[in-house]
Amino acid sequence: MLPEGVERFIRSPREEHFEEVALEAFAFQFSRVEPIRRFCERRGSVPASVASWTEIPAVPASIFKSVDLFAAPPQAVFDSSGTTQGDRRSAHHHPFLELYRTVIDSSFPAFCLPRGDRPPMLSLIPKAELAPESSLSFMVDHVLETFGAEASVNAVGPRGIEPATLRSWLGARQRAGTPCFILATALSLHQCLEVLDRLGLSFRLPPGSAIFETGGFKTRTQELDRAHLHDRVEQRLGLSVANVVEEYGMTELTSQAYTRTLLGGAEGLFVCPPWMKARILDPATLDEVSEGGDGLLALFDLANIGSALHLLTEDIARKEQGGFRLTGRATGAELRGCSLTAEDLAQGPLRQAP
Amino acid sequence: MYPCPLDPAALLQIQSQLAGNGASSLRSVGTEQLLGAWNDTISAFADPRSPERRRLDDRLGPASGLSQRCLNESLGALLEGFSARESKIVIDRAAKCREPLACFVILAANIPGLALQSLLACLALRQPVIFKLATAEPFFTPAFLDALERREPSVAAASAALTWPGGRRDLEDPLCEAVDHVLAYGGADTLSALQDRSAPKLLPFGPGASLAVLSDADPDDLPRTARALARDTALFDQRGCLSLQVIFAQTNIGALAEAMGQALADAAVDLPPGTVSSSDLVRARLAREEAHFQGLDLIELPLAQGTVIVDPRPQFLASPGLRTIRIHPVDTLEIVPERLKLLRGSLQGAVLLGAAAQKLRPRLERLGASHFCLPGKLQSPPASWANGGVDLVRTLSARLRGSAAG
């Protein structure tokens, strides 16, 4: 059912074939996802007329909050965490979970395990059985199962991070002296550090150890300071920011972008795998900005063939060195108040003290 | 304006002075004298050519992010509500309320002139008041107070406008403790944080929305109506709770949308958009793209100038800003209040045009709407406007026992 070219490209990408596979994927999606077909027809962009993937109309990711998009019967429905626009959550009806696994297998090791090893892993992200609606939990479960050594554990229970598991795993890794790997969101990393603060524990994780960090730094109730968080990671775990790989992912996507920190890349500079293309668009014209320019981040993800290939995110990013750097976020429209310019009083009590 | 009081003790000393000498000197001023000074100051600030306005505008223009013409018209509209007649109503109503209470007002940056309503109420009650200015716009309120003090020196001893980086709990908590009322204009997060700290004294003025309901609009009048509605949208660059965001209409939807598009284009000339942020542009762009995806009719001006979206789904969706207006065609106006239920407590202004629309007023009032007007007057509430349902003079004239506003 799935066009062969897509999976083949993800397993063995050859840039010169990208355009051809992208157009094949568009034709597939056009024929199977009715809302996409209608949208593209209104835009005058149909498979017969589209000559390049950049001409395929980009769908605002916010549409996932109100329209179900799927090219085949969904095998899972992933929901957004809903930190914004509280009353509406994105739902990604995913019809191709095997393709999702292929994406993880083809990208995660390249960015996160560059030595090709299989380290013991600690997940600070709930298992899928606790959070079946979370695409991140799906991904992390698969990573632990596929790339984690036998001593890998998930330290999140129904009531959050389990201090005993955390303490025992970190202690064992410190004693073992071989590299290990931690998977966390910024918030769960913060919670982990709070647990260690409470226990009064610090560890020196072995050289070569690394952290996978994803998710924003702002929640409904607090805004984390990234530099401060990483300082605390260094104090409590003995890992510097150079050991932290950031991941950029969205419920509405199947693929992820990563920083190349473990390969000597710059901190905060995201790079897409070969089957996902990022463009930074001028919001006024939707033309691509030039190098160094800021704009609306658009992502074309071949692996999103089951829903919407081309997405307009709500993120503002800067085009830089073949990748992108996040510079802001335009969360959905909110009520105006005599308060629009978020009076800085708000930020004081909400931001973690540096 | 006082310098930034980095020292909590210095701030409390200012508060103590205001509450003592300041309040008593203000109480010695006659109503006519106070009103005369107030009216004269309002007139000066309503005239962009007055020396006081020209001195202010050099700084206020860039800080507000509004174009000069839009700033002039927006302030003009706001000050219209503080006419001599309207201001006298407030002062007269307060004549008997002279308990010496003190007020701390936390201002937001998006609407220059936001301080005027609470300032007038405090002056009317002869109450001392401290304003915490938004760091992004610390100009209007001190300039207005300076001008007022030149006309009525006793005001100087009873009011102060200060600014410091937000979140300085070492400054804010003792001040909240020392005063009798805390008025705060802010977003939900700001107000929630303050609620935890000063709930019994807090009068929160949070985010809100305004709308228009049109019934039996005369097709011949549509251009004029649309011009007035575009003005309600464009003033303050659609940043305030009294900015128009949605229109519910029964008839002539296509013509209304066309007229709104033209009127917003005209407004872009008469009230040019100010500076816009990347996130403003992205929000407006995404709203357009979402509408395209849903197959809705749109009129698209250059992004900062405005967008008209005709959305047959009659639910309220907040505007992304940049003068984006949604028009919802409805078969019957009866469903409008029903569709606005989620806005209960956040509904602020309603333009009601036509007899059938006027009939909705009691139901919209029950949802919290507090300012009703004809097109073009949304941004000119009277000085006595019960913002958020709060009658300031009455509320500030007594000690609060609990949170009074929503």
Q: Contact B282/A351, CB-based, under 8 Å?
A: no
Closest chain B residue to the Cα of A293, Cα to Cα: B278
- Is the CB of A352 inside 8 Å of chain B's CB atoms? no
- DSSP letter, residue B2: P
Tell me the residues of chain A between 205 and 244 that have a Cβ less than 8 Å away from chain B. Answer: none
Check the CA dihedral B297-B301-B302-B304 and report its sign: negative
Distance from CA of A349 to the nearest CA of B (A): 6
Q: Contact A330/B282, CB-based, under 8 Å?
A: yes
pLDDT tens track for B218-270:
778 999 999 999 999 999 999 999 999 999 999 899 999 999 999 999 999 99
Mean pLDDT over each residue of chain A, to the nearest integer = 90
Which chain B residues are closer than 8 Å to A345 by Cβ? Answer: 106, 132, 166-167, 172, 184, 186, 190, 193-194
pLDDT at B187 exceeding the cut of 90: no
- Is the CB of B321 inside 8 Å of chain A's CB atoms? yes
- Is the CB of A353 inside 8 Å of chain B's CB atoms? no
Position A344 scores a pLDDT of 26
Distance CA A202, CA B55 (A): 58
- For the CA atoms of A205, A211, A216, A218, the dihedral, rounded to the nearest 10 degrees, stands at 0
pLDDT tens track for A240-272:
999 999 999 999 999 999 999 999 999 999 999
Distance from CA of B192 to the nearest CA of A (A): 9
Which chain A residues are closer than 8 Å to B297 by Cβ? Answer: none
Is the Cβ–Cβ distance between A254 and A100 less than 8 Å? Answer: yes
Closest chain B residue to the Cα of A286, Cα to Cα: B285
Mean pLDDT over each residue of chain B, to the nearest integer = 91
Q: How far is CA B311 from CA B89, B149, B246, B297, in A?
A: 41, 50, 10, 7
| Gap between the terminal Cα atoms of chain A | 52
Check the CA dihedral A129-A134-A138-A140 and report its sign: negative
Position B25 scores a pLDDT of 87
Q: Which pLDDT band holds residue B27 (cuts at 50, 70, 90)? A: confident
Position A80 scores a pLDDT of 82
- Is the CB of B265 inside 8 Å of chain A's CB atoms? no
pLDDT tens track for A170-209:
999 999 999 999 999 999 999 999 999 999 999 999 999 9
- Interface probe with A: pick from B118, B175, B189, most Cβ of A within 10 Å: B189
- DSSP characters for A36-65? HHHHHHHTT--TTT--SGGGSPPEEGGGGG
Which chain A residues are closer than 8 Å to B208 by Cβ? Answer: 335-338
ipTM of the assembly?
0.89
- Is the CB of B177 inside 8 Å of chain A's CB atoms? no
pLDDT tens track for B30-53:
999 999 999 999 999 999 999 999
pLDDT at B365 exceeding the cut of 50: yes
Task: Output the six-digit token pair for B193.
Answer: 């944080």
Distance CA B232, CA B348 (A): 13
Measured at the CA of B164, the angle between CA B160 and CA B169, to 5 degrees, comes to 105
pLDDT at A68 exceeding the cut of 70: yes
Check the CA dihedral B95-B101-B102-B104 and report its sign: negative
How far from chain centre, in Å, is Cα B379?
8
Distance CA A318, CA A340 (A): 25
- Is the CB of A44 inside 8 Å of chain B's CB atoms? no
- Between chain A and chain B, the number of residue pairs with CB atoms below 8 A apart is 186
pLDDT at A220 exceeding the cut of 70: no
Distance CA B349, CA B242 (A): 6
Is the Cβ–Cβ distance between B274 and B67 less than 8 Å? Answer: yes
Q: Contact B166/A294, CB-based, under 8 Å?
A: no
Question: How many helices, marked H, and strands, marked E, lie in chain B?
Answer: 17, 12
pLDDT at A320 exceeding the cut of 80: yes
In 3D space, the residue among A58, A110, A96 whose CA is nearest the CA of residue A308 turns out to be A58
Which chain B residues are closer than 8 Å to A336 by Cβ? Answer: 110, 207-209, 238-241, 243, 245, 318-319, 321
Is the Cβ–Cβ distance between B89 and B382 less than 8 Å? Answer: yes
Q: Contact B190/A328, CB-based, under 8 Å?
A: no
Is the Cβ–Cβ distance between B216 and B251 less than 8 Å? Answer: yes
Q: Looking at the partner chain, which of A35, A66, A337 has a beta carbon nearest the beta carbon of B241?
A: A337
Q: Looking at the partner chain, which of B165, B240, B320 has a beta carbon nearest the beta carbon of A338?
A: B240
Distance CA B140, CA B131 (A): 11
pLDDT at B109 exceeding the cut of 60: yes
Q: Contact B185/A349, CB-based, under 8 Å?
A: no
Distance CA A114, CA A116 (A): 5
Check the CA dihedral B62-B64-B69-B70 and report its sign: positive
Check the CA dihedral A112-A118-A121-A123 and report its sign: positive
Q: Contact B278/A349, CB-based, under 8 Å?
A: no
Which chain A residues are closer than 8 Å to B165 by Cβ? Answer: 344, 348
What residues pair up with B214 in beta bridges, in sequence order?
A: B249, B353
Distance CA A333, CA B325 (A): 12
Position A14 scores a pLDDT of 96
- Is the CB of A151 inside 8 Å of chain B's CB atoms? no
Which phi and psi (to 5°) does residue A217 adopt? -105, 0
- Is the CB of B64 inside 8 Å of chain A's CB atoms? no
Q: How far is CA A155 from CA A123, A188, A201, B272, B343, in A?
A: 6, 11, 16, 56, 41
Task: Output the six-digit token pair for A136.
Answer: 């991140």
Q: Three-class SS of residue B368?
A: coil
Q: Contact A345/B186, CB-based, under 8 Å?
A: yes
Average of per-residue pLDDT across B288-304: 97
Distance CA A279, CA B380 (A): 44
**Burial class of residue B96, CB neighbours in 10 A (0-12, 13-18, 19+):** exposed
How far from chain centre, in Å, is Cα B313?
28
- DSSP letter, residue B21: I
pLDDT tens track for A18-50:
999 999 999 999 999 999 999 999 999 999 999
Tell me the residues of chain B between 334 and 363 that have a Cβ less than 8 Å away from chain A. Answer: 342, 346
Average of per-residue pLDDT across A73-99: 82
In 3D space, the residue among A313, A156, A182 whose CA is nearest the CA of residue A237 turns out to be A182
Q: Three-class SS of residue B155?
A: helix
Q: Contact A63/B279, CB-based, under 8 Å?
A: no
Q: Three-class SS of residue A236?
A: helix
Distance CA B257, CA B307 (A): 10
Distance CA B305, CA B323 (A): 6
The more confidently predicted of residues B64 and A331 is B64
Check the CA dihedral B253-B258-B259-B261 and report its sign: positive
Distance from CA of B218 to the nearest CA of A (A): 30
Distance CA A49, CA A66 (A): 28
Q: Give the ranges where A245-301 is alpha helix by DSSP (H).
A: none
Position A331 scores a pLDDT of 72
In 3D space, the residue among B379, B263, B246 whose CA is nearest the CA of residue B320 turns out to be B246
Position B200 scores a pLDDT of 82
pLDDT tens track for A100-157:
999 999 999 999 999 999 999 999 999 999 999 999 999 999 999 999 999 999 999 9
Tell me the residues of chain A between 20 and 39 that have a Cβ less than 8 Å away from chain B. Answer: 35, 38-39
Is the Cβ–Cβ distance between B256 and B217 less than 8 Å? Answer: yes
Q: Contact B190/A346, CB-based, under 8 Å?
A: yes
Cβ-count burial A304-336 (b if 16+ within 10 Å, e if not):
bbbbbbbbbbbbbbbbbeebbbbbbbbbbbbbb
Is the Cβ–Cβ distance between B90 and B116 less than 8 Å? Answer: no
Closest chain B residue to the Cα of A348, Cα to Cα: B167
Tell me the residues of chain A between 266 and 295 that have a Cβ less than 8 Å away from chain B. Answer: 283-284, 286, 294-295
Tell me the residues of chain B between 285 and 304 that have a Cβ less than 8 Å away from chain A. Answer: 285-287, 289-290, 292-295, 302-304
Distance from CA of A37 to the nearest CA of B (A): 10
Average of per-residue pLDDT across B82-99: 84
pLDDT at B403 exceeding the cut of 50: no
**Residue carrying the six token digits 């013409």:** B69
Is the Cβ–Cβ distance between A259 and A210 less than 8 Å? Answer: no
- DSSP letter, residue B103: E
Position A340 scores a pLDDT of 28
Position A83 scores a pLDDT of 45
**Burial class of residue A18, CB neighbours in 10 A (0-12, 13-18, 19+):** middle
Distance from CA of A96 to the nearest CA of B (A): 24
HSE-CB for A37 with a 13 A CA cutoff:
11
- Is the CB of A5 inside 8 Å of chain B's CB atoms? no
pLDDT at B98 exceeding the cut of 70: no
Q: Contact B186/A330, CB-based, under 8 Å?
A: no
Average of per-residue pLDDT across B168-191: 88
Average of per-residue pLDDT across A77-89: 66
In 3D space, the residue among A43, A12, A58 whose CA is nearest the CA of residue A288 turns out to be A58
Q: Looking at the partner chain, which of A42, A283, A344 has a beta carbon nearest the beta carbon of B166?
A: A344
**Residue carrying the six token digits 């292929």:** A102
Q: Of all helices (H) and strands (E), which one includes residue B144? A: helix B140-151
Strand spans (E) along A115-224: 121-123, 153-154, 156-157, 160-161, 181-185, 210-214
Which chain A residues are closer than 8 Å to B243 by Cβ? Answer: 336
pLDDT at B216 exceeding the cut of 80: no
pLDDT at A338 exceeding the cut of 70: no
- Is the CB of B232 inside 8 Å of chain A's CB atoms? no
